[in-house]
């Protein structure tokens, strides 16, 4: 019988399987455009020092993942007869619908990215680790397609869990613009953006922070599933740190810095459209503990910054304006208003805000009433006057030619929020922010070809050139009319506001008299 050996004894032997190719060109087997080696200045053999901390083996992987799936699916089947999540109310269902529409197929996109590293990363230990990353992402795809599948029988909007990214809905266009940007990169560039900026930063928001809301609401199934997912993310996200360590060793961090700055901003924009409204508007107010802004402070501002500074990188150049935006939550409030106003374009049922909502929002974001209250007052007034249609947009708005989200924050006086524009090849491009413009200007040839929904509309690619035509283009046409977003509180909630005075305003006799 041979002596027993521990993982530490053999792990390196297992993962160090680089060899010198001799029957084909090294360049042909590891093309620079796929690996990224040309874009960095690491000497021959330098990447072979690549090392991450988890060192999980296949044996351990199968065992742990089997167990994790076991717990998630057993909670899921125990919940089958519980009436979850429909019994938790339409607001919480919006959180779920939004999550499931946007997440599972992006997880599948991450399978592609991880597989790219598993094939083209410049070191075998990295390729080895990335293969487990690909497996993890496959798990996340599967899990988050299986759970909402049982909901489509109750509510057609869950159908978008698999459908969204196959459509040209604006949310699909915006999220794909970011994830395709990752996907259409070489392995090193892609991993820096996906595993470092996105996974060590933002997956915590979507999976841990949201899991805490889910637990408060009582959605045990969802809480269990997404917190289990985050345990995988925490492991495979380590790839990014391992890359940065090597780049740092050879004093070659400039490109990494650019990519982290770029992708961090892009993730922030996308998540403020997705997670922000879910946390601040759709989660039932009584179950909201922390706001999107507070979660951002904790998970992104504090932890991610610490993370960045523990590597040789620096915080992004736009950090000050980013912090200001986070604190006031502006992007997220703007998006929540936008989701409401353009609700037929989304497979959720975003509600008008209630009195409790407004108190909570003002408490969490002092000044909210001044800036956003009036817009909701106008919606409420239209409701009271039986003008439901007036609360729904009948036009399109300027979209950012980089992030594809609305390009104005309705606050043109502020430098951060004014509409930015830039000429390229005789064409004027519009941006929501300075960082988005900065990204475009750095790589105009990469981004200029893409047409936002608005550009398609103006170019006549969308026919007929009406709002209905645009809805049809977005996958929300006649056939899918029942999937369009509605205000589930309408029209009654408008009545709640007849005597309403915002908490920040002076009490009037009508309001103080109860």
Partner 1 sequence: MSEKDYPMKQETYRTYSTWNQRRVPTTYDIAAHRTNYDIGERYDGTVPRLAVSSDEALPQWYQKYREGSAITGEYPDDFDSWRDPRELTYEKYNELMDKRESTIETLYEQAEVLERGTERSDDPWLDFQERAFLPLRYPCHGLQMIASYLTMFAPSSTISTAMTFQATDEIRRQERLARRATQLHKEFPEKGFTENEREIWEEDEMWQPLRKVLEELLVEYDWGKSFVGTNLVLKPLLDELFLAHYSELFDKNDSNLYAQVLDNFYLDADRSQEVAASVADHVIEIDESNEAVVQETVDEYYPASEEAVEAFRPAFESMPPETMAFDDVLADIRRKYDAMLADLPVSRPA
- Is position 478 an interface residue for partner 1 (rule: CB under 8 A)? no
Our CB check for partner 1 shows the closer of 418 and 455 to be 455
DSSP annotation of 508: P
Backbone phi and psi for residue 63, each to the nearest 5 degrees, phi listed first: -65, -50
Show the DSSP H helices in 344-419 as ranges: 355-364, 368, 374-384
- Is position 122 an interface residue for partner 1 (rule: CB under 8 A)? no
> Among 79, 88, 90, 436, which residue interacts with partner 1 (rule: CB under 8 A)?
90
Our CB check for partner 1 shows the closer of 132 and 281 to be 132
Question: Which residues make up the interface to Fe ion (CB under 5 A)?
Answer: 107, 137, 140, 199, 233
- Is position 235 an interface residue for partner 1 (rule: CB under 8 A)? no
Rg, C-alpha atoms of the chain: 24
Restricting to residues 7-46, which ones interact with partner 1 according to CB under 8 A? 9-11, 13-15, 17, 19-24, 28-29, 33-34
> Among 41, 314, 356, 492, which residue interacts with partner 1 (rule: CB under 8 A)?
492
Our CB check for Fe ion shows the closer of 198 and 342 to be 198
Burial 380-401 (b: 16+ CB within 10 A, else e): bebbeeeeeeebbeeebeebbb
Angle (CA) 260-97-332 rounded to 5° is 45
Yes or no: say if 136 and 235 are a contact pair by the CB < 8 Å rule: yes
> Among 37, 102, 141, 278, which residue interacts with partner 1 (rule: CB under 8 A)?
141
- Is position 112 an interface residue for partner 1 (rule: CB under 8 A)? yes
> Among 108, 236, 269, 333, which residue interacts with partner 1 (rule: CB under 8 A)?
108
Cα 304 off chain centre by: 16
- Is position 168 an interface residue for partner 1 (rule: CB under 8 A)? yes
Task: Find the shortest distance in angstroms from Cβ 365 to partner 1.
Answer: 29
Report the partner that residue 233 touches, choosing among partner 1, Fe ion, none (CB closer than 5 to 8 A by kind): Fe ion
SS3 assignment, position 253 = coil
> Among 42, 48, 75, 142, which residue interacts with partner 1 (rule: CB under 8 A)?
142
Our CB check for Fe ion shows the closer of 169 and 199 to be 199
Count the Cβ atoms, other than its own, within 10 Å of residue 104: 22
> Among 37, 76, 102, 157, which residue interacts with partner 1 (rule: CB under 8 A)?
157
> Among 43, 44, 66, 478, which residue interacts with partner 1 (rule: CB under 8 A)?
66
Our CB check for Fe ion shows the closer of 140 and 333 to be 140
Yes or no: say if 416 and 392 are a contact pair by the CB < 8 Å rule: no
Angle (CA) 110-112-113 rounded to 5° is 65
Give me 30's structure tokens: 């590891």
- Is position 384 an interface residue for partner 1 (rule: CB under 8 A)? no
CB-based closest residue to Fe ion:
140
Our CB check for Fe ion shows the closer of 206 and 311 to be 206
- Is position 153 an interface residue for partner 1 (rule: CB under 8 A)? yes
Yes or no: say if 333 and 243 are a contact pair by the CB < 8 Å rule: no
- Is position 392 an interface residue for partner 1 (rule: CB under 8 A)? no
Our CB check for partner 1 shows the closer of 104 and 276 to be 104
Our CB check for partner 1 shows the closer of 63 and 320 to be 63
Task: Find the shortest distance in angstroms from Cβ 207 to partner 1.
Answer: 17
C-alpha distances out from residue 258 to 252, 315, 405, 422, 438, Å: 12, 11, 22, 20, 11
Report the partner that residue 488 touches, choosing among Fe ion, partner 1, none (CB closer than 5 to 8 A by kind): partner 1
Helices 104-120 and 170-183, axial angle in degrees (round to 10): 10
Yes or no: say if 227 and 75 are a contact pair by the CB < 8 Å rule: no
- Is position 355 an interface residue for partner 1 (rule: CB under 8 A)? no
CA 431 to CA 405: how far, in whole Å? 9
Helices 220-236 and 210-217, axial angle in degrees (round to 10): 160
Query: Alpha-carbon torsion 314, 316, 319, 325, what sign?
Result: negative
> Among 42, 450, 500, 501, which residue interacts with partner 1 (rule: CB under 8 A)?
450
> Among 37, 186, 195, 272, which residue interacts with partner 1 (rule: CB under 8 A)?
186
Size of the site for partner 1 (CB under 8 A): 98
- Is position 467 an interface residue for partner 1 (rule: CB under 8 A)? no
Our CB check for partner 1 shows the closer of 65 and 203 to be 65
Report the partner that residue 105 touches, choosing among partner 1, Fe ion, none (CB closer than 5 to 8 A by kind): partner 1
- Is position 293 an interface residue for partner 1 (rule: CB under 8 A)? no
SS3 assignment, position 399 = strand
Task: Find the shortest distance in angstroms from Cβ 182 to partner 1.
Answer: 10
Helix (H) or strand (E) holding 423, with range, is: strand 420-424
What torsion do the CA atoms of 60, 194, 328, 415 make, to the nearest 10 degrees? 170
Using the structure block, give the residue that is written with the tokens 């950090």.
319
Yes or no: say if 336 and 277 are a contact pair by the CB < 8 Å rule: yes
For the chain, the residue count is: 514
Our CB check for Fe ion shows the closer of 206 and 452 to be 206
Q: Which of 213, 203, 275, 265 is nearest to 235 (CA)?
A: 203
> Among 99, 128, 288, 409, which residue interacts with partner 1 (rule: CB under 8 A)?
128
Q: How many helices (H) and strands (E) does the chain have?
A: 27, 2
> Among 139, 315, 333, 358, which residue interacts with partner 1 (rule: CB under 8 A)?
139
Report the partner that residue 446 touches, choosing among partner 1, Fe ion, none (CB closer than 5 to 8 A by kind): partner 1
Task: Find the shortest distance in angstroms from Cβ 240 to partner 1.
Answer: 19
Our CB check for partner 1 shows the closer of 407 and 474 to be 474
- Is position 456 an interface residue for partner 1 (rule: CB under 8 A)? yes
């Amino acid at each position: 019988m041979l002596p027993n050996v521990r993982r530490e004894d053999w792990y390196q032997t297992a993962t160090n399987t680089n060899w010198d190719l001799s029957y084909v060109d090294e360049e042909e087997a590891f093309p620079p455009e796929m690996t990224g080696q040309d874009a960095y200045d690491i000497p021959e053999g330098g990447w072979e020092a690549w090392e991450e901390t988890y060192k999980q083996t296949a044996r351990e992987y199968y065992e742990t993942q089997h167990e994790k799936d076991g717990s998630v699916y057993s909670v899921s089947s125990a919940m089958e007869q519980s009436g979850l999540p429909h019994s938790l109310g339409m607001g919480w269902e919006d959180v779920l619908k939004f999550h499931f529409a946007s997440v599972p197929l992006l997880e599948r996109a991450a399978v592609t990215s991880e597989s790219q590293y598993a094939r083209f990363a410049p070191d075998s230990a990295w390729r080895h680790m990335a293969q487990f990353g690909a497996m993890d992402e496959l798990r996340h795809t599967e899990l988050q397609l299986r759970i909402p599948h049982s909901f489509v029988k109750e509510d057609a909007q869950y159908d978008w869990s698999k459908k969204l990214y196959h459509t040209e809905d604006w949310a699909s266009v915006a999220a794909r613009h970011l994830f395709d940007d990752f996907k259409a990169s070489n392995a090193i560039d892609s991993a820096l953006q996906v595993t470092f900026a996105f996974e060590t930063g933002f997956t915590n928001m979507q999976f841990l922070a949201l899991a805490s809301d889910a637990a408060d609401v009582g959605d045990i199934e969802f809480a269990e599933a997404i917190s289990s997912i985050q345990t995988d993310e925490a492991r495979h996200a380590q790839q990014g740190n391992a890359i940065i360590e090597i780049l740092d060793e050879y004093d070659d961090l400039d490109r990494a810095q650019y990519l982290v700055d770029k992708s961090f901003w892009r993730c922030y924009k996308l998540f403020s459209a997705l997670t922000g409204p879910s946390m601040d508007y759709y989660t039932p107010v009584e179950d909201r503990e922390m706001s999107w802004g507070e979660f951002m402070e904790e998970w992104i501002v504090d932890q991610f910054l610490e993370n960045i500074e523990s590597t040789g990188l620096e915080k992004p150049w736009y950090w000050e304006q980013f912090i200001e935006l986070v604190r006031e939550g502006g992007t997220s409030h703007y998006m929540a208003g936008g989701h409401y106003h353009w609700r037929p374009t989304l497979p959720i049922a975003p509600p008008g805000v209630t009195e409790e909502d407004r108190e909570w929002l003002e408490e969490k974001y002092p000044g909210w009433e001044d800036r956003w209250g009036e817009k909701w007052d106008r919606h409420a007034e239209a409701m009271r006057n039986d003008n439901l249609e007036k609360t729904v947009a009948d036009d399109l708005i300027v979209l950012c030619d980089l992030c594809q989200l609305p390009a104005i924050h309705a606050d043109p006086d502020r430098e951060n929020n004014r509409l930015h524009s830039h000429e390229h090849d005789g064409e004027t491009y519009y941006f929501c922010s300075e960082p988005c413009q900065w990204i475009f200007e750095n790589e105009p040839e990469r981004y200029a070809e893409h047409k936002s929904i608005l550009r398609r509309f103006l170019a006549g690619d969308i026919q007929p050139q009406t709002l209905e035509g645009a809805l049809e283009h977005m996958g929300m046409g006649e056939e899918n009319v029942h999937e369009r977003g509605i205000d589930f509180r309408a029209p009654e909630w408008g009545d709640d506001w007849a005597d309403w005075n915002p908490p920040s305003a002076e009490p009037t006799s009508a309001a103080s008299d109860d």
